[in-house]
Amino acid sequence: MSQTITEFDTIAAISTPPGEGAISIVRLSGEEALATAEKVFKGRDLSKVASHTINYGHIIDPDTNEEVDEVMVSVMLAPKTFTREDVIEINCHGGIVATNRILQLLLSHGARLAEPGEFTKRAFLNGRIDLSQAEAVMDLIRAKTDKSMKVALNQLDGDLAHLIRNLRQDILDVLAQVEVNIDYPEYDDVETMTTRLLLEKAKDVKARIADLLSTAQQGKVLREGLATAIVGRPNVGKSSLLNHLLHEDKAIVTDVAGTTRDVIEEYVNVKGVPLKLVDTAGIHDTTDKVEKIGVERSKQALAAADLVLLVINGSEPLTDEDRTLIKTTADSKRIVILNKTDLPQQVDLTDLQKLVGDDAMIATSVLTNAGMDQLEDKIANLFFGGIENSQTTVMVTNARHIGLLNQASQALDDVMSGIAAGMPVDLVQIDMTRAWDLLGEITGDSVQDELLTQLFSQFCLGK
Amino acid sequence: MISEGKPYQAKAYDVIVVGAGHAGSEAALAAARMGNKTLLMTISLEMVAFMPCNPSVGGPAKGIVVREIDALGGEMGHNIDKTYVQMRMLNTGKGPAVRALRAQADKHAYHEEMKHTMEREPNLTLRQGVVTSLLVDDGVCHGVVTATGAHYEAKSVVLTAGTASRGKIIIGELMYSSGPNNSQPSIELSEDLEKLGFDLERFKTGTPPRVDGGTIHYDETEEQPGDKEPNHFSFDTPDSQYIDVKNQLSCWLTYTNEHTHEIIRENLDRAPMFSGVIEGVGPRYCPSIEDKIVRFADKSRHQLFLEPEGRRTDEWYVQGLSTSMPEEIQQHILHSIKGLEDAEMMRPGYAIEYDVVSPYQLRNTLETKLIKNLYTAGQMNGTSGYEEAAGQGLIAGINAGRRALGEDDFTLKRSDAYIGVMIDDLVTKGTKEPYRLLTSRAEYRLILRHDNADLRLTAMGHDLGLINDEKFAKFESKKAAITAELNRLKSVRVKPNAQVNEWLAAHNDAPLKDGVLAADFLRRPEVTYADLMQFIDGPAEPLDHRVVEQVEIELKYAGYIQKAEEKIAKLKRMEAKAIPANIDYEAIEGLATEGRQKLAKIQPETLAQASRISGVNPADIAILSVYIEQGRIAKVSQ
C-alpha cells in the first residue's frame, strides 16, 4: 500500500549538542522547510523575506496558540545552502525543554526526523560536497545508523509497541472489512463497512492516541526532569538548598531578604531522579517593582511544578506568610523542610504538623548538611513510588514517536472531515490507511502484506 | 515423448509467441500490430483464448486491467464486448475508484472471436505445435524448436505456457499428466528452462464441476440479473450495441449447507489437498471448497454462484465449489445443495499443479534477466486470472516487438496502471501463491480508476503504434471536452435565487447567500452534474455521459486526487534514479547482509524499486544512493 518515500521529504533535527550552550539550533531541510516553519512561526512572513536573512519572532503551538520560545529564524533558500535544498535554522533559547518542544512541533507539522548523517548525505547527493567526501558520508551513515538503531530499539518500549500494535490491529480490522467490501462486493458474510462505522472507529482510535499522547507528559518527567519548585518566605535558606543540590553557587545568596530576583532553572540528578529545579524569588508581598515580576513568575512556577519543596525557617516562629504558603501548596506534591536546625528552634512542631497534615516533613540544616541525605532519599522515594503506583506504565517519550502519533491523530481528523463532507468509504479509507501507516512507522511494521494476510485469514473468500 | 520429429530449418520470424491463452493472444497481436512478422505457436488451436475456469471477465481491479489493455491497444476489451452474455457494474454504491465492470462470457464465442481476430491479422501466423526447447546462444534467445523437429529463428521469443507447464491434474485418487481442460501438457519446455538455469516453482489451482443447466432447479435459487444501464469495456464500443437486459443471461445464487460440509468432512481422507498428494501452493483468495470447510469450520454456509458458460451450451459453472475431491464425492456434494438436488454433473472439478518461473528472475519489461530476448508472461509468471495474464501478455508482446524493431523498452509504473502495480509486485516481491490483482495492492487506487484508463494510457498506446489515429482523435476530443467543461464550470456562477435555495432546502443543505462558482456548487456531496444544470446554462453542445462523469469526479474528489498526485510526483523522482545494471553489491561496504542479498537477487532497476524490496532498510537505500552518485561523479570527472 503505502511506501515511505524518504529521499525528498523535509527533514528536521536539533543540530547543536543537547543540553549545552546558551543557544540551540533546530535545522530543517527540504522543499517543505519554509512551509513547515511558517506553520509554527509568528513574526515576519517568512515566505516574503530575502534569502539568507535572520528573522526575529516566536514559535507558537498552532493548536493551542501557546508561545513556546522567542527565536531568531535563518531563512536560506536553495541552492546556496549546505544541503542545496531550502534550509531553515531556528535559533532558540538553549534549554532542553524549549528545543525539544520546537522539534516536536515541526515533526507534527510535516517534517520527518532526520536520519543520522542525512543532512550531509543530501549535501553530497545534491553535489554540494565532492567525491573524496563520499566515503566519509557513507561511514557516517553506517556508524550513526548502528548506534541509532540500538537507541531506537531501546526507545521503543515493549509495552508501547504492544499498545501501538493493538491500535494498528483495530484499524486493520476495519481496513480489511472495507477491502473485502470492495474486492468481493458479492460476498455477503461480511457487514458492509459504512462511514458511520468508520467514524466510530476513527473516534475510538483517536481517543486512544490522545491517551497515549497525554502520557507524553508523564514521560516528559523522565526526559526533561521532575519540575521542582523551591518555595518559602524570604531568607529561609531556599537558595542555599538549591546551591547544595547543585554543589555550586549559581543563585545569588545573601542575608538580605529578596535578593533572589529571578527564577533560575537548573537540572540536577538526585539519586537517579532528574530534577528540574526552580528556585523562586521569595514569595511575599512586595512593593519593589523589580521583585514583583519575580514574585509573579514564582507563582506560575509553583503552579507548573511536579514537586514543591517548601522551606520553613525553624529558628523563627511560624509567620502568617508561612501559614499562607502551607495553604497555597497544599494541593501540590510537596516536602516540607524545616531548615536551620543548627540554630535554636522556635517553631511549634505540633502546630506545624497539624498544618502540614500527612505530607512529608524533614528537618535539615543546609549549613551543616544535617538531614540532607534523608531529603534526597525522600525525593527519590516519592518519584519512584509514584511511577510504580501509577496506572499506566506506558509512556511516550521519544520526539519521533510523539510526532508520528500527532500525525496519525491528524489523519484521523481527516477521516472525520471526509465523512462530514459526504465522501464515500473508499476515499475516507485513504486517510485511515495513512493513520495505520504512521503508527506502523513507530513500530517499524508498515508492510502492505499484513492487510492481505488479514483479508484472507479473516474472511472466507473465493470464486 | 515416444520419438521426436527429424530436425529441419523452418521459416524465420521477428517475434515468436509460445502459447495462445489470454497472455499469448495479447502478446502476439501487439507484436504483429507493431509491424513484426509474428508466429503464435499453440499446443491446440481449439484452446486459443480459452477459459478453462470461470466464464467471466472483469470485476474489481481486474475490470480496470481490461480497460487498461484496451487503452494501450490490446484486444481483451473488444473481444468480451462482442461475446458477453451479461454485463454488471459492481460497487456502484461506493466511490469512483473502486467501481468495477464485470461480464459473463460466452466462453466458446470468446475463443472463436479471438481466434478469428488473430487469423485476420496480416502479420500474424497461428500454428499448432508443441515447443520443446529454446534456441539459446551466449545467453541470447534466438528461436524455438518444436516436437515435429522445426527450428524457427526469431529476434525475440515470448513464453506463455500457462498451466500446461508440466501440468498435472488431480481428481481424488486419480492423477495424470495434463494441461488445462485435459489438453496436452508441455513437459520438455519446462525441463529445458531448468537446464538453462531458471528457478521454477510449483503452484496449484483448481476448478469446480460443471453441471447440466437442464437439471438445475432455478426456482430454489436467487436470480442475479445483469444491468439495464449500458456499459462496455472498450472505448470503441458504442452504448447502442448494448444487449438489452431481457436478452442477457442471469446467474443464480445458492449456498452450501451443514449437510454439504458433513459430506466433505467425512471424506477429507480422500481429499488430495489434505492427504499430501498436492505439493503446489494454492491461492488463498480462491480456496477449494474442502479448504474453506477446514479453515472456516464455524461457517454454516458458503455462497455459490451458478454461471452460464455460453448461449449454445447447457454447461453451467458452479462458482465457489472448486474442488479436487473424488468424482463420486463431488456428485454427493452437488446433490446436497439447494437447487442442485438433481443436477447432472457434466465434468468433474479438478486441481491442477504446474510449473512457474519465479518472477524475481524477470525485469519489469518481463524479459528474463538470465536470457536476453526471452520474455515470459501470464500464469507462467505465477499469476492467476485471465485479465492478469492478458495484461502481462500485452507488455511482454510490446517489449518483444520493440526489441525486434530495435526500439527501447516500455514499462508502466505503479502510478500508471494496475498492470504496472502487478508487474512491479511480481518482479520486486515475487509471489508465494498464485498472484491475483486486488484493488488494495494499488497505493494510488484513486488515480487508477476504470473510468480514466483511457486518459491515463491512450497516448502511450498511440505512441506504441497500437492505437490508430482515428481512435486517438476521438480520444483527444473527449479529453478536450472534459477540459473545456471544467474551465466553464470554474467561471460560471450559480446565483442565490429562490429556485436554488428551495432545492437546497429540500436536500437539507444550507441556502446560498452569495453567488458561488458552479464548480464549487458541484463539490457539495448531494449535488450531481444533472442537478447543477437546472441552475446554470448547459454547455454549447450536450456532453457524452463519460465526459460528465470525468467532470464530476475531477471536481468532487479534487482534494484526495491532489494529495495522491503529490505523492506520485515525489515517487517519480525516486523512480528516475536508475541503478546501473552492472552494479556489484558485494563491493558496497556497509550494506546490511539481508539487504545485500535481496538487492543482488532482485537486481532492482531504480532506487524506488529497491526501496520496495522487503528486507532492504532505509540505511541500505541511503548508502546505495550515495554509492551510485559517487560512481556517476567518478565517470563525469574521468
Q: Is A424 on the interface with B (CB under 8 A)?
A: yes
Q: For A460, which of B299, B618, B619 is closest by C-beta distance?
A: B299
Per 3-state DSSP, chain B is made up of helix, strand and coil in percentages (nearest 5) of 40, 20, 40
DSSP B359: G
pLDDT for position A39? 94
Asked which of A116-130, A421-435, B356-370 is least confident by mean pLDDT, the reply is A116-130
**Where in the sequence of chain A do the CATH 3.40.50.300 domains occur?**
225-283+291-385
Band of the pLDDT at B62, cuts 50, 70, 90? very high
Q: CA-to-CA distance for B123 and B125, rounded, in angstroms?
A: 7
Q: For A1, which of B285, B443, B525 is closest by C-beta distance?
A: B443
Beta bridge partners of residue B354, listed in sequence order: B203
Q: Is A85 on the interface with B (CB under 8 A)?
A: no
Contact B98 A426 (CB under 8 A): yes
**Where in the sequence of chain A do the CATH 3.30.1360.120 domains occur?**
11-129
Contact A421 B445 (CB under 8 A): no
Contact A430 B560 (CB under 8 A): yes
What burial class does residue A17 get, using C-beta atoms within 10 Å of its C-beta: 0-12 exposed, 13-18 middle, 19+ buried? exposed
pLDDT for position B465? 97
Q: At what angle do helices A449-458 and A158-183 cross, to 10 degrees?
A: 70
- Grid coordinates representing B173 are 485418487
A234: preceding bond cis by omega (within 30 degrees) = no
CATH numeric code, A11-129: 3.30.1360.120
Task: Evaluate if residue A150 carries a pLDDT over 70.
Answer: no
Q: CA-to-CA distance for B290 and B323, rounded, in angstroms?
A: 7
Chain A environment of B61 (Cβ under 8 Å) = 183
pLDDT for position A41? 95
Cβ pair B61, B447 in contact under 8 A: no
What count of CB pairs under 8 Å joins A to B?
159
Chain A environment of B319 (Cβ under 8 Å) = 463
Band of the pLDDT at B590, cuts 50, 70, 90? confident
Chain B residue with Cα closest to A414: B560
- Grid coordinates representing B593 are 547482509
Q: CA-to-CA distance for B41 and B118, rounded, in angstroms?
A: 12
pLDDT for position B146? 97
Task: Evaluate if residue A195 carries a pLDDT over 90.
Answer: no
pLDDT for position A386? 45
Q: Which of A151, A157, A274 is nearest to A212 (CA)?
A: A157
For domain A225-283+291-385, the CATH superfamily is P-loop containing nucleotide triphosphate hydrolases (3.40.50.300)
Contact A427 B60 (CB under 8 A): no
Band of the pLDDT at B502, cuts 50, 70, 90? very high
pLDDT for position A2? 39
Residues 308-347 of B with CB under 8 A from A: 319-320, 322
Contact B286 A462 (CB under 8 A): yes
Q: CA-to-CA distance for B191 and B308, rounded, in angstroms?
A: 38
DSSP B230: -
What burial class does residue B508 get, using C-beta atoms within 10 Å of its C-beta: 0-12 exposed, 13-18 middle, 19+ buried? exposed
Residues 431-450 of A with CB under 8 A from B: 447-449
* Angstroms from A54 CA to nearest CA on chain B: 30
Q: How far is CA B522 from CA A322, B364, B455, B528, in A?
A: 70, 41, 22, 6
Task: Evaluate if residue B193 carries a pLDDT over 60.
Answer: yes
Cβ pair A287, A391 in contact under 8 A: no
Residue reference for cell 519540575: A227
**Helix, coil or strand: residue B297:** coil
Q: Which of B66, B97, B632, B605 is nearest to B366 (CA)?
A: B605
Q: Is B97 on the interface with A (CB under 8 A)?
A: yes
Asked which of A7-11, B225-229, B396-400 is least confident by mean pLDDT, the reply is A7-11
- Residue A125 is which amino acid? L
* Angstroms from A421 CA to nearest CA on chain B: 7
Kindly report the pTM of this predicted structure: 0.82
Which runs of consecutive H residues, i.e. helices, occur in A421-448?
Answer: 425-443
CATH numeric code, A136-221+398-444: 1.20.120.430
Is the CA virtual torsion B137, B138, B142, B144 positive or negative?
Answer: positive
Q: For A138, which of B302, B319, B623 is closest by C-beta distance?
A: B623
Cβ pair B17, B158 in contact under 8 A: yes
- Residue B485 is which amino acid? E
Q: Return the higher-pLDDT residue of A82 and A428.
A: A428
Residues 460-499 of B with CB under 8 A from A: none
Q: What residues of A are designated binding site for (6S)-5-formyl-5,6,7,8-tetrahydrofolate?
A: 27, 89, 128, 463
- Optimal mutation site among A5, A7, A417, interface B, most CBs of chain B within 10 A: A7
Q: What's the mean pLDDT in B587-608? A: 90
Q: CA-to-CA distance for B106 and B314, rounded, in angstroms?
A: 11
Residues 184-243 of A with CB under 8 A from B: 184-189
Asked which of A145-159, A354-368, B523-537, B578-592 is least confident by mean pLDDT, the reply is A145-159
Task: Evaluate if residue B509 carries a pLDDT over 70.
Answer: yes
Cβ pair B201, B355 in contact under 8 A: yes
Contact B319 A463 (CB under 8 A): yes
Asked which of A12-26, A273-287, B153-167, B343-357 is least confident by mean pLDDT, the reply is A273-287
- Residue B210 is which amino acid? R
What percentage of chain A exceeds 90 in pLDDT? 21
- Residue B637 is which amino acid? S
**Where in the sequence of chain A do the CATH 1.20.120.430 domains occur?**
136-221+398-444
- Optimal mutation site among A121, A132, A182, A428, interface B, most CBs of chain B within 10 A: A182
The terminus-to-terminus CA distance of chain A in angstroms comes to 24
DSSP B439: G
Q: Is the ipTM of this complex over 0.90?
A: no
Task: Evaluate if residue B214 carries a pLDDT over 60.
Answer: yes
Helices (H) and strands (E) in chain B, counts: 21, 23
B349 φ, ψ (degrees, to nearest 5)? -70, 160
Residues 365-424 of B with CB under 8 A from A: none
Helix (H) or strand (E) holding B565: helix B558-575
B283-323: pLDDT as tens digits? 777 789 999 999 888 899 999 999 999 999 999 999 999 99
pLDDT for position A45? 93
pLDDT for position A325? 84
Average confidence score pLDDT of chain B: 94
Task: Evaluate if residue A202 carries a pLDDT over 90.
Answer: yes
A244-296: pLDDT as tens digits? 776 644 443 334 444 443 444 556 666 656 677 765 554 444 555 545 555 56
pLDDT for position A262? 41
Q: What's the mean pLDDT in B187-210? A: 96
Q: Return the higher-pLDDT residue of A48 and B275.
A: A48
Q: What residues of A are designated binding site for K(+)?
A: 235, 254, 256, 259
Residues 543-562 of B with CB under 8 A from A: 557, 560
Residues 335-364 of A with CB under 8 A from B: none
